[in-house]
Structure 1
Amino acid sequence: MNTKSIFLVLCCLTAFPSYAQHVPTLEEVVNGGLIVTKGESRVNWLSEGNSYSKKEKNPAGGYDIVSYTAGKNKREVLISASMFVKPGTSDTLSVRSFSFDTSHKQVLVYTNTRRVWRYDTRGDYWVLNMETGKLRQLGAQLPESSLMFAKFSPDGTRVAYVSGNNIYVEYVSDGKVVQLTRDGSNTIVNGTFDWVYEEEFSCRDGFRWSPDGKYIAYWQSDTEGTGWFDIINNVDSLYPKILRFPYPKAGTTNSAVKVGYVAASGGETTWIDLPGDPRQNYIMRMDFIPESN
């Protein structure tokens, strides 16, 4: 070891004396107590164009949804944390993210999240009517933390979401649920994607409302015949678990991917006629043309 190497090591130990004196516990490392960080939440620009909304912690517990006016930095509480208390309980929703309908009279709250691959894209969704104060959970009949990519219809009367690789539409007013697809399984994936599409194309949310709210277009992946990859998960529980997922390596079978559209009220899916072998093509982007079907 030369003089420069010794000098660098001594500088590191001097700069972080607490690490030299204290051996961190596993709990400190896993639960984030070792290094304290502070960041800002995602912001959502409001329809008037000069204000944005974001979540902020309420000192009494939970999160407020607040707005700031650009330029003036004027702050206003749009929704207080007290409005996010679950009906019949004293529990306040922990707001992971939120979105408004076009009227800004309803807000969709994402909470109780779980990780899918590397992002927490699965959880519970609640709708809050800001005028009446009514808070209601969506997909209450489905397993906990199983809803993905919920979003309002253009007119705000319904919310569509994915659960168990199937697509659902739920009416906000009365909770009526319409199941649009029924073939979702371990190998048939509707409204979201397999590992390759997320990794290579950043594709996660796999369905779109039409501008008039009458249809939903979506991706479907058929992973049958794709090789399975095993990973040992050593961090989420006391004992390791083996995770299996379809993962095509170079030269092996890809998922067969196609795009179709279905009436939001239910019915048969119409599949788009695309040229070529669906296992040899990628469909990376899809959307409705604005002001049309």
Structure 2
Amino acid sequence: MKSKSILVVFLLSCFIAVAQQKLSVEEIYAGTFRAKSMDELQSMKNTNQYTVLNFDRGSRTMQLDLYDFATLKKVNTFIDTKNFLELKDGIDSYVFSTDEKQILLANNSNPIFRRSFTADYYLYDIATKKLTKILEQVQEPIFSPDGTKIGFAKENNLFIYDVSSKSITQVTSDGKKNAIINGITDWVYEEEFAFVRAFDWSADSKKLAYIRFDETEVPQFSMDLYKKDLYPTAETFKYPKAGEKNALVSLHVYDVISKNSKTIDLSNYNDFYIARLKWTNDANILSAQVLNRHQDNLDLLFVDATSGAAKVVLNEKDKAYVDVTDNLTFLKDNSFIWTSEKDGFNHIYLYDKNGKLKNQVTKGNWEVTNYYGFDEKTKTVFYQSVENGSIVRDVYKISLDGKKKVKLSSQVGTNAATFSPDFSLFINSFSSATVPPTFTLNNSKDGKLAQEIVNNTALAEKLKKYDLPNKEFFELTTEKGHKLNAWMIKPKDFDASKKYPVFMYQYSGPGSQEVANNWLDTNDMWFMMLSQQGYIVACVDGRGTGYKGAAFKKCTQKELGKFEVEDQIDAAKVIGNYSYVDKTRIGIFGWSYGGFMSSNCLFKGADVFKMAIAVAPVTNWRFYDSIYTERYMTTPQENASGYDDNSPINHVSKLKGNFLLIHGTADDNVHVQNSMQMIEALVQANKQFDWAIYPDKNHGIYGGKTRIQLYNKMTNYIKEKL
């Protein structure tokens, strides 16, 4: 009987093993496990409705549909591309006029850098259903508040399109590639201050404020594009590296009626950034956020558009750096809401129109992670926070006086909200490491569920046959006593009596987060695939990462890569001591900052890590851009040791394990120069390593079969070397 029962168990286990379908790189990166969402979801401003850009796969057409918040029923289809031959290639994005009677539709978009692109634009009149092509290959068009004009940029100059007369007025004329840019940010602003449109309309539609960039003395970077041509072509653009000259910026206000521009006097600033500009509710008062080059002093300016005088209404200083905020919200009386880390955690503050603090709205040893808006009627602020743990997100509302706080989300994981115009309802998007994204309608009074909108039960059902393991969250404590957020994925048939190899993943950049309780992305699916092949995959957010307060985030100041690398090495030692881990087989992987880290970890932790994969890594902080690098490191002229001691290119002699270095030649962000010079340093140190170069691929290294080939290469490397 005993032998018979053993045979039954054996046969059953064989059946289960066969039934458990294996993941493949081809499936993962072909989008097989992509979750359904609500694309281009936007709340209307004047009616309690929202819009979604839907795609009909059968007819290959797109519809811009209008829905009612209260009932979730479709009220109208504003436009269906099947009815307009001009839109046969679809709608890339859309924006409404203030009165929501006109829509600007983008089509035929052509990317420039990470966020910037040119596109053709069509004006659609909702009442007449008339579609008119008005602009070709321009940037960042935006309606004036009265809807009569559209400001836009083209070839480094600013223009105004008149909707009724269809005439175009040129606002600036000195724009020139690699020299002068008007109203559009330069490369480094776009990448590091995360905005492209550097112009804005006044509330009365009579003035257009804009930033002018003089790039003349900024060093120029060039990269070859190989394509399939007989000769490569060179792409050149201005790229200020750490310590080099930045663009000279100036602030201007254009008067639509007189057609004259006024230069705002900022002569008391030297070597500075204009990180944001935004008109207040007063049509004559413009706000601007001005940072010094070290980014440890921020002035919020109110500019009188008539006189050109600027006054500081709020100043923030920090021993490390001050983050720029997108949460500046002007109330009816021009008092304003602002977010700041000044008490050690990111919180919401209310100031009067002169910049005097009225009160701190949120308080506590936790961070506000998103500000959703302010309801003037009920004097209520809506926001997202990590009050219930740094790896989860919840939605809250609170009175402007800091009282009557109500938690509106109920599920444990990542909650985010899109509120109706009257703030009575919100669409909650929720996911966790075990629940794929769901979109529900909820009541803003108490957060109660009203109705489900979109679910991913089909995806959950599809994944059942793969019988994936769970992503286990825990807090790892290093020997030095640092408590760090972590997750681990073990093989589904995990046996604690066995010894497993461990593959660690991290990013580790300032304020980042990889350990979060949300749904699995494509990397997670790849990690699940590795677990099916007998690997434990782990991730640890070390010091310098975000959502645990300013002190935790900013402790790496002037020493990027010191404490972060120390924490990854120490975490690997802790994991290596687990009874089920083979401490001689620990690898590490990362992309961009994560590639910088994985390189450093293999070099500096040569006795801990057996192998590393570094994709698009910074190998020398002297090669990276001014705004990002100097924010955390000051300049190389001031902090040479901080730059050199923590750059992996200076530690190649310590390499003992297996190293795979990967880069795209058209990476405009982390230049392939980083890897080329690292390769030369490794060669001259007589070190053996592996490398792969992807022609004409940018920082994301994608397109066609690229991701599939890349992840198969990395998978094979792990199986061979770890």
Segments of 5+ residues of structure 2 without an aligned counterpart are 1-20, 285-722
2:236 aligned residue (230, 244, 268): 244
Contact 1:85 1:93 in 2 (8 A): no
TM superposition shift of 1:68: 2.2
TM superposition shift of 1:209: 0.5
User: Hey, what does 1:57 align to over in structure 2?
Assistant: 55
- Superposition map of 1:182-201 within 5 A: 182-186=173-177, 187-201=179-193
User: Hey, what does 2:164 align to over in structure 1?
Assistant: 173
Residue identity in the other structure for 2:176: S
User: Hey, what does 2:224 align to over in structure 1?
Assistant: 232
TM superposition shift of 1:43: 1.3
- Superposition map of 1:105-144 within 5 A: 105-139=101-135, 144=136
Which stretch of the first structure deviates more once superposed, 217-226 or 43-52?
43-52
TM superposition shift of 1:185: 0.5
Task: Say whether 1:290 aligns with 2:301.
Answer: no
Alpha-carbon separation, structure 1, partners of 2:83 and 2:254: 33
**Normalization by structure 2: what TM-score?**
0.34
Residue identity in the other structure for 1:202: A
Identity across the alignment (%): 26
Q: Equivalent residue of 2:235, what SS?
A: strand
TM superposition shift of 1:250: 2.1
Task: Say whether 1:210 aligns with 2:202.
Answer: yes
Contact 2:62 2:82 in 1 (8 A): no
Alpha-carbon separation, structure 2, partners of 1:94 and 1:277: 46
User: Hey, what does 1:3 align to over in structure 2?
Assistant: none
Residues 84 and 180 of structure 1: CA distance in aligned 2, closer, same or farther (over 3 Å): farther
Alpha-carbon separation, structure 1, partners of 2:253 and 2:209: 4
Residue identity in the other structure for 1:138: I
1:162 aligned residue (153, 163, 166): 153
Residue identity in the other structure for 2:244: T
Alpha-carbon separation, structure 1, partners of 2:97 and 2:256: 17
User: Hey, what does 2:96 align to over in structure 1?
Assistant: 100
Alpha-carbon separation, structure 1, partners of 2:199 and 2:249: 13
Contact 1:164 1:185 in 2 (8 A): yes
User: Hey, what does 1:70 align to over in structure 2?
Assistant: 69
Q: Equivalent residue of 2:272, what SS?
A: coil
Alpha-carbon separation, structure 1, partners of 2:90 and 2:81: 12
2:22 aligned residue (6, 12, 15): 15
Contact 1:66 1:77 in 2 (8 A): yes
TM superposition shift of 1:208: 0.2
1:173-209 CA-partner distances (Å, limit 9, x unpaired): 2311111111111110001011111122112111001
TM superposition shift of 1:275: 3.1
Alpha-carbon separation, structure 2, partners of 1:185 and 1:82: 36
1:106-141 CA-partner distances (Å, limit 9, x unpaired): 1110111011211353111110111122211123xx
Task: Say whether 1:269 aligns with 2:261.
Answer: yes
User: Hey, what does 2:413 align to over in structure 1?
Assistant: none
Residue identity in the other structure for 1:57: F
Residues 216 and 163 of structure 1: CA distance in aligned 2, closer, same or farther (over 3 Å): same
TM superposition shift of 1:228: 0.7
Contact 2:97 2:143 in 1 (8 A): yes
User: Hey, what does 1:8 align to over in structure 2?
Assistant: none
Q: Equivalent residue of 1:243, what SS?
A: strand
Alpha-carbon separation, structure 1, partners of 2:168 and 2:25: 56
Alpha-carbon separation, structure 2, partners of 1:82 and 1:124: 15
Alpha-carbon separation, structure 1, partners of 2:200 and 2:84: 30
Alpha-carbon separation, structure 1, partners of 2:217 and 2:201: 31
User: Hey, what does 2:660 align to over in structure 1?
Assistant: none
Alpha-carbon separation, structure 1, partners of 2:160 and 2:257: 8
Residues 84 and 176 of structure 1: CA distance in aligned 2, closer, same or farther (over 3 Å): farther
Contact 2:61 2:82 in 1 (8 A): no
RMSD between aligned residues: 2.8
Contact 1:180 1:266 in 2 (8 A): no
Residue identity in the other structure for 1:67: L
Q: Which structure shows the bigger proportion of residues in helix conformation?
A: 2
Alpha-carbon separation, structure 2, partners of 1:284 and 1:17: 44
Which stretch of the first structure deviates more once superposed, 91-100 or 197-206?
91-100
Alpha-carbon separation, structure 1, partners of 2:275 and 2:244: 20
Residues 83 and 76 of structure 1: CA distance in aligned 2, closer, same or farther (over 3 Å): farther
Q: Equivalent residue of 1:189, what SS?
A: strand
1:45 aligned residue (43, 46, 68): 43
1:4-47 CA-partner distances (Å, limit 9, x unpaired): xxxxxxxxxx723685xxxx9xxxx9xx8x33435431211112
TM superposition shift of 1:252: 1.7
TM superposition shift of 1:77: 2.7
Alpha-carbon separation, structure 2, partners of 1:238 and 1:266: 51
Task: Say whether 1:281 aligns with 2:233.
Answer: no
Contact 1:192 1:207 in 2 (8 A): yes
**Normalization by structure 1: what TM-score?**
0.80
1:220 aligned residue (209, 212, 215): 212
Segments of 5+ residues of structure 1 without an aligned counterpart are 1-13
Alpha-carbon separation, structure 2, partners of 1:168 and 1:18: 47
Alpha-carbon separation, structure 2, partners of 1:285 and 1:17: 44
1:57-95 CA-partner distances (Å, limit 9, x unpaired): 245443211122224221223313158615xx6x53511
**Aligned pairs, number:** 261
Q: Equivalent residue of 1:244, what SS?
A: strand
